[in-house]
Each structure stands twice: as structure tokens, then as C-alpha cells.
A and B are shown apart, each in its own frame.
Chain A
Amino acid sequence: MGREVAESCIDGVIIEMVSAYCKRFYATKPELAARRIEAIGYQVGHQLIERLPSAFPPFLFCLRASCSLSSDLFMRGLPGPVDLVLIGYTVERPRFSDHLEAIKFICKDFWSELFKKQIDNLKTNHRGTFVLQDNRFRWLTRVSIDPSLDISEASQDDSAVTPENKAAEATSMHLYFPCGIIRGALSNLGIPCAVSADISNLPACSFVVRVKA
């Protein structure tokens, strides 16, 4: 079926892309660099979602949780009762009836296609805000949490910038790309939204999706 590429190559390309935009093209304008990286992610997500809902390779098995949404405010333990479903050219995915359906698709099928795991926790306030939490976000597992490397650099800079801040800033640059992917995927499904990311403690990370009314 499709051709494959090593994960380390993808990692390398993404790291290189972020550093090229931050340090070379827009070294003085971090906001602009962030916007450009997000735009690249947007296009990737936009095209990727086109392929995923219907055109899974026929041999691909996919775990799809058949959990129904509980009526309480927060939905916990997303991977509920799980049944094995064959998604291929033979089975068509019905159209999404509402936003939650689409977000759940992103959490399960889309995420497992991208990162081989599902989103660990999904929260929603049922008013258009969704929090997607990944306890071990694959693209952050290689990020060093040791700020000591930056100390020598920081001491030469303005003393107000602490090494922790600097590390967090560098990490957050790496999150604009996945944010763009989510936004692109959702907007191609007809859901205009804004996506921001937030790092609590490192390999864990949560994406906040705000649907535009």
C-alpha cells in the first residue's frame, strides 16, 4: 500500500523546520515564526483529514471505542468499551452529526493514525471548548527538560529571562505545528476553531480547541 518513512526522519524534519523558522527566517519576530509554522501545520491537517475518514488502507485495523457520552459535564476515561472495527475502502464512515463526533474522531482515529496512540483525556464544557490531553505527546518526548544547558546562554542575555522561561518558550514553538494540524483538520470538517497548546509537565501536553460560534 503506501510508502513508509522512518519516524526519526519525521522528527528530524519537524525539529529542523521549527529551528529554521525561529532562528533563521524570523529570528527577530517570534510571533511571525509561530504563525508561519502554524500555517504549515494547517495545510498538513487540512489535506490529511481528507484521506483519513474514508480512505484508510484496507488492511488497517483500528480500535474504536464504542463509548457513549455520559450526561455529566466531563467525559472521563475516553477509551471505554472497545470493539475491533475494520476500517477500509469497504466501510464508509458516516458523516459527523455534531462537533463532539468530529472531535472524538480527532481524538481516536486521527490521533492514533498520527501518533499510534489515542488522546488520553477529553474534556468539554459543551459550549464549544474542548481540552484534549495527551499524557505522553510523541513530539515532546525528545525535548530536554533540563534547563541547565541554557544557563550559560541566559547569563549573557537579559537577566530577567530565566532559563526555565527560555526552555518553555523553545518547547512551545514546537507545539504550533500540531496545533495547526488540529485546526486544519477541524476546519476542513466544517468546524472553524482556534487551537492553543499548553505544557503542564513535560511529555504531557494539552490542546485547547475553541470552536468559533
Chain B
Amino acid sequence: MIMCVAVVGHQNNPLYLQSFTEADDALKLHHIVHCSLDVVDERVNNPKKSGPTLNETFLGMLYPTENYKVYGYLTNTKVKFLMVTTDLDVKDADVRSFFRRFHAAYVDAVSNPFHVPGKKITSNAFAERVSGIVKSFGPVTTG
């Protein structure tokens, strides 16, 4: 199950964070996301470690904790997408397609002429679309 997704701007400023848990753990999730930003920087600055393809947008699993896995994605415009999941065996291909759809949703959200670049995303349509993407991710991996 996906615990939360987050969008972080190019100056590591939080743009969007949505959690999908019942409990009130927004602070904890913020903490996890914040910690993984260092790993993103590390992957980007030392491209040798980041897998077979150089400069790929998908960064792979950033770091596993006891309960969570954090996956990252970096766009050409230096915006980071992070996803925290509790699933133990997640296929990379599923995460890739998740991020791709998430990226498409993000692009549509920031193309809104009333969105101010660099400010938090407040669009309800974006939140709904992200929820839909997250929901469709769950059953595929567990089933």
C-alpha cells in the first residue's frame, strides 16, 4: 500500500504531500520524505551508482527502512517525486508506470495558468487524480 506521495521543488521546497493512511502521521511522512532528498542528491551527483541507464528520470528505490520503501523520480525541470510504500515486493516496472502517470498528472496541474510556478499545488483535480493513480497501483501489486 502506498503511504504517501510527495512533490518537491528544485530548491527542495515542498510543493505537495498527500498521505493515504488513516493515522495522523503527516509529520512522520514529512520526515521520511525529507530524509530521502539527500539520497536523491547523492544519486544525481554520482551517476555511476544510479543503475544501468545514465540520467534516467526514474531513480529507483532510494532507501528502505524497517517498514517502508522510498522510491524517487527526478524530472528534467529538477522537480522530485517521492513515493513511500509499505509493500515488500514491488516491481520496478510498476513503480515506473506509476511515476509516469503521476508525472503526467503533475504536468497537467502546473500547466494551469492560475498556478504560480514554485508555489504549492492546491488543485483539487490534481489531488483526485493522484488518489486515482494510487488506488490503481495498490491492487496490481498485491493481487
Contacts and interface: CB of A to CB of B under 8 A. Distances in A.
Contact of A54 (B53, B54, B76, B113): B76
B68 to A, nearest CB: 25
Interface of A is mostly: loop
Contacts of A53: 75-77
Interface string B23-49: 000000000000000000000000000
Most buried by B among A49, A55, A95, A97: A95
Contacts of B100: 54, 89, 92
A92 B58 contact: yes
Contact of A94 (B54, B103, B117): B54
A164 to B, nearest CB: 38
A95 B43 CA distance: 13
B77 A50 contact: yes
Interface of B is mostly: loop
B107 A49 contact: no
Contacts of A92: 56-58, 100
Interface residues of B, number: 20
B136 to A, nearest CB: 15
Contact of B54 (A43, A51, A93, A97): A97
A199 B36 CA distance: 49
A49 B77 contact: yes
Tier of interface size on chain A: 10 to 19
B103 A189 contact: no
B126 to A, nearest CB: 14
A94 B56 contact: yes
Contacts of A89: 100, 104
Interface in A67-122: 89, 92-97
B127 interface: no
A155 interface: no
A94 B104 contact: no
A54 B56 contact: no
B107 A50 contact: yes
B108 to A, nearest CB: 8
Contacts of B57: 54, 92-95
Interface of A: 43, 46-47, 49-51, 53-55, 89, 92-97, 188-190
Interface of B: 10, 53-58, 74-78, 100, 103-104, 107, 110-111, 113, 117
